[in-house]
């Protein structure tokens, strides 16, 4: 017997992904305009820092709320004491109204069917615990958020089987890819319990089409034990057409007979981390019309509650319709302007992106900069961008993309000046690249740019693994 449990010593957390290791390299040498102007700029973090001034302005105008007062009287003791893990009714009501507002009030949500969690990470894991057993599987379209390898698999023991989407149709879900993923799961003797999609997509920054939803509903229709999870954490970041369509809106438009087949098997994950830029507040939610799922998830939520103080503050903020209307409108305008800045800067460097209409990032095509059409070449390019260009971005392989050369680049977590500097660095890097595939002309070996041999060994293992069997990652 070992000193620690198998869970504590297993290597299935996903922390060795380039997505996380890029962060580690950034933290060793973070860019600062004054103190470290040659440091690494963080473009691998999907945070929304563009509209903090609007939130801060609301707090200044409503000092009683952050001061934990009601009608001028302190309610500190009330909030400091233990609260029922079902959540404050006032906050749940404000949250579901805000969710409806984001969706143009085309759908409404019952506060009795929402479960509060400590962020979307907790919400996704809790749902998987409720819906699947260890050794069962969910299908996920690629490319997908690298953190899902941790959130969905690590503690639950549930497997992920990729739905392989490609650039040939702009990474849209197809019937053939969906069926192939199902067959792949069966070959691995995995029972498929459903499909999980992110809408809008992370890392693509695109919204799911009605045609894709129709495929998904057709796929699970006659498979009565299958679920559809729609992670809609980026629903309020849609800044261009087509508009955001929630899975609940699709359900509402169905005839009652068809919809009845799905109501108990469709679930939404949401969070305030992206739309309001509040990841540190740890506010996530599960919405489901399945009473058994709500009951089970509510019990599980006691392991990751949202603090009463946070709920009180946000119930007042989200309950201010004048503020939320102004915030959502202005934030979307700012996201659109910032995305355009990134696109323009990359285009000047000869780099294009997948057309997108949402999110805090772009899906960037650097295939022409690869020395070969391999994941080893993608890793080599990524190392150059991290260590020579000093930008932390996320390689497509960390998102399980099947095509080498795609990268996720974030644009909303930095100042405009910092983004302009990042674009200058990109442009200079491409301009100084040579060779038919745009490889760097630097005569020094890639290994000489690495900080330590363990990181170099990890890159070799990761690239080899992708080259052999990317679908098994």
250 carries an active-site annotation: no
Q: At what angle are helices 321-348 and 52-61 packed, to 10 degrees?
A: 160
How far is the C-alpha of 330 from the C-alpha of 450, rounded, in Å?
42
Measuring CA to CA, which residue among 207, 144, 138 is closest to residue 178? Answer: 138
- Quickly list DSSP for 400-428: T-SSTTEEEEE-SSS-HHHHHHHHHHHHH
Six-digit token string for 247: 């899975």
Q: At what angle are helices 321-348 and 308-318 packed, to 10 degrees?
A: 90
The strand pairing partners of 364, in sequence order, are 353, 407
**Number of H helices and number of E strands within the chain?**
17, 17
The catalytically annotated residue of 151, 184, 231, 365 is 231
How far is the C-alpha of 276 from the C-alpha of 240, rounded, in Å?
18
The catalytically annotated residue of 114, 173, 233, 250 is 233
Measuring CA to CA, which residue among 246, 248, 232, 268 is closest to residue 359? Answer: 232
Q: 190: phi > 0 → left, psi -120 to 50 → alpha, else beta; which?
A: beta
274 carries an active-site annotation: yes
The catalytically annotated residue of 92, 153, 274, 384 is 274
For residues 226 and 195, the answer to whether their CB atoms sit within 8 Å is yes
For residues 466 and 17, the answer to whether their CB atoms sit within 8 Å is no
144 carries an active-site annotation: no
Six-digit token string for 87: 């959540």
The catalytically annotated residue of 19, 26, 31, 145 is 145
Burial group, residue 164, by CB count within 10 angstroms (0-12, 13-18, 19+): buried
Measuring CA to CA, which residue among 33, 16, 12 is closest to residue 24? Answer: 16
Which residues are known catalytic residues?
Answer: 145, 231, 233, 274
């Amino acid at each position: 017997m070992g000193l620690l449990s198998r869970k504590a010593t297993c290597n299935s957390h996903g922390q060795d992904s380039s997505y996380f290791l890029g962060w580690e390299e950034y933290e060793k040498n973070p860019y600062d305009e004054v103190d470290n102007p040659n440091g690494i700029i963080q473009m691998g973090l999907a945070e929304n820092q563009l509209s903090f001034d609007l939130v801060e302005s609301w707090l200044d105008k409503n000092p009683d709320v952050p001061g934990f007062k009601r009608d001028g009287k302190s309610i500190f003791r009330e909030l400091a004491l233990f609260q029922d893990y079902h959540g404050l009714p006032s906050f749940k009501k404000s949250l579901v109204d805000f969710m409806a507002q984001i969706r143009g009030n085309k759908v409404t949500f019952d506060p009795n069917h929402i479960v509060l969690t400590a962020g979307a990470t907790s919400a996704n894991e809790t749902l998987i615990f409720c819906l699947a057993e260890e050794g069962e599987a969910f299908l996920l379209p690629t490319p997908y958020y690298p953190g899902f390898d941790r959130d969905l698999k690590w503690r639950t023991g549930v497997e992920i089987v990729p739905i392989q989407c490609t650039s040939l149709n702009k990474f849209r879900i197809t019937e053939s890819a969906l069926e192939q993923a199902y067959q792949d799961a069966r070959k691995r003797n995995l029972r498929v319990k459903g499909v999980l999609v992110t809408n809008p997509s992370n890392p693509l920054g695109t919204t799911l089409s009605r045609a894709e939803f129709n495929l998904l509903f057709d796929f699970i229709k006659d498979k009565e034990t299958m679920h559809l999870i729609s992670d809609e954490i980026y629903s309020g970041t849609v800044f261009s057409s087509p508009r955001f369509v929630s899975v609940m809106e699709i359900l509402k438009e169905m005839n009652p007979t068809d919809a009845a087949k799905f109501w108990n098997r469709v679930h939404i994950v949401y969070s305030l981390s992206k739309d309001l830029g509040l990841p540190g507040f740890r506010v996530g939610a599960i919405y489901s019309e399945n009473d058994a799922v709500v009951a089970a998830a509510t019990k599980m939520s006691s392991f990751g509650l949202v603090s009463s103080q946070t709920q009180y503050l946000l119930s007042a903020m989200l309950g201010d319709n004048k503020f939320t209307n102004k915030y959502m409108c202005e934030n979307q305008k700012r996201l659109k302007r910032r995305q355009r800045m990134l696109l323009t800067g990359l285009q000047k460097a000869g780099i294009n992106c997948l057309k997108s209409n949402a999110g805090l990032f772009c899906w960037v095509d650097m295939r022409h900069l690869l020395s070969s059409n391999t994941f080893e070449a993608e890793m080599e390019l990524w190392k150059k961008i991290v260590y020579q260009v000093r930008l932390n971005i996320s390689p497509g392989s960390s998102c399980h993309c099947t095509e080498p050369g795609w990268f996720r680049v974030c644009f909303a977590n930095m100042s405009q000046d910092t983004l302009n500097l990042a674009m200058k660095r990109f442009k200079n890097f491409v301009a100084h690249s040579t060779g038919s595939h745009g490889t760097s002309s630097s005569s020094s070996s890639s290994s000489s740019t690495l900080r330590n041999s363990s990181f170099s060994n990890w890159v070799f293992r990761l690239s080899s693994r992708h080259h052999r069997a990317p679908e098994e990652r």
